[in-house]
Amino acid sequence: MKKDKTPDLKTGRNDPCFCGSGLKYKKCCLGKANIKPQSIKDLYFRKHQIRLKEPRDIEGIKKAGKIGLDLLNLIEEKLGPGMYTEEINKLSHEFLAKNGAKSASLHYKGFPKSVCVSVNEVICHGIPGKRIIKDGDIINVDITPILNGYYADVNKTFFIGTPGENAKKIVKVSKESMKAGIAMVRPNNTIGDIGWAIQTYAEGQGCSVVSDFVGHGVGFMFHEPPQVPHFGKKGEGVILVPGMVFTIEPMINLGKKDVRILDDKWTAVTADGSLSAQFEQTILVTEYGFESLTPFE
């Protein structure tokens, strides 16, 4: 029989109680007529600590996302060989300020810059600085703008000059991986379905999926529940319901998935030195499917 994936609003007698007590429902809120989950919103917060978003929240996240997208377009225009990665940080910091936004990355757990800039073998969390980008490089820029208290999270990988075959391949596979994950987003699918689709596609292309970093809920904070792994099994994990907002941001390596962290405590590189690429969007679960709050082709 196919597993029933309808959200269980009628908590079973032997299920953990929705109030989070850790007791069985029958030993806890069952029978206390005045304590009932009011709605899916209430249930998702109690059960999973997931805060579903209202239409006004979604508008707020979209506006933050638009600033991120506009900034990525500006960066793409300015990128070229000979540039320091720090120049991208400076441009970003100024652009965010000019638009009334802040960067969630700046000073996050000690991260010293306003954007992450990750070149070639750098998987993510590259710190902008004195590295000079050169013809043939691939470069990921990850931006998390905060506007009016709302957070969006978006990243893209760009080519510098003329890409080689390996660069073309990893950028294509990582973008298609993100799209394969997004295509799974609809009510009654699960978080595991997203990871399964990404892993199946990426490994089918002979690439590997980084498992040390995951997507995440976003909107009211930088990182909210749930975690969104880019690998996994169909049907596992939290059931998707309208109003959930989270990122899908697979990091895909041309070689093995293993990660090494540099002495700066942030920069994550491929252990085998192979190329790595990433694309990220902030995705809303809607009544019938999904809407990207940071859409790009």
140 binds ligand MF3 (CB under 6 A): no
123, two tokens = 């998987």
Minimum CB distance to ligand MF3 smaller for 57 or for 153: 153
Minimum CB distance to ligand MF3 smaller for 47 or for 216: 216
* 3-class state of residue 50 by DSSP: coil
| Distance from C-alpha of 97 to C-alpha of 243, rounded to nearest angstrom | 29
6, two tokens = 């309808």
28, two tokens = 């806890």
Q: How many C-beta atoms lie closer than 10 Å to residue 279's C-beta?
A: 25
280 binds ligand MF3 (CB under 6 A): yes
Are 248 and 64 in contact by the 8 Å Cβ rule? The answer is no
Minimum CB distance to ligand MF3 smaller for 57 or for 249: 249
> Binder to Co ion among 247, 253, 278, 294 (CB under 5 A)?
247
137 binds ligand MF3 (CB under 6 A): no
* Contact flags string 89-118 toward ligand MF3, x per CB under 6 A: ----------------x--xx-x----x--
| Distance from C-alpha of 69 to C-alpha of 297, rounded to nearest angstrom | 11
Per partner kind, with CB cut-offs from 5 to 8 A, the member of Co ion, ligand MF3, none near residue 108 is ligand MF3
249 binds ligand MF3 (CB under 6 A): yes
| Distance from C-alpha of 224 to C-alpha of 211, rounded to nearest angstrom | 18
32, two tokens = 């206390």
Q: Tell me which residues touch ligand MF3 (CB under 6 A).
A: 105, 108-109, 111, 116, 125, 142, 144, 153, 247, 249, 280
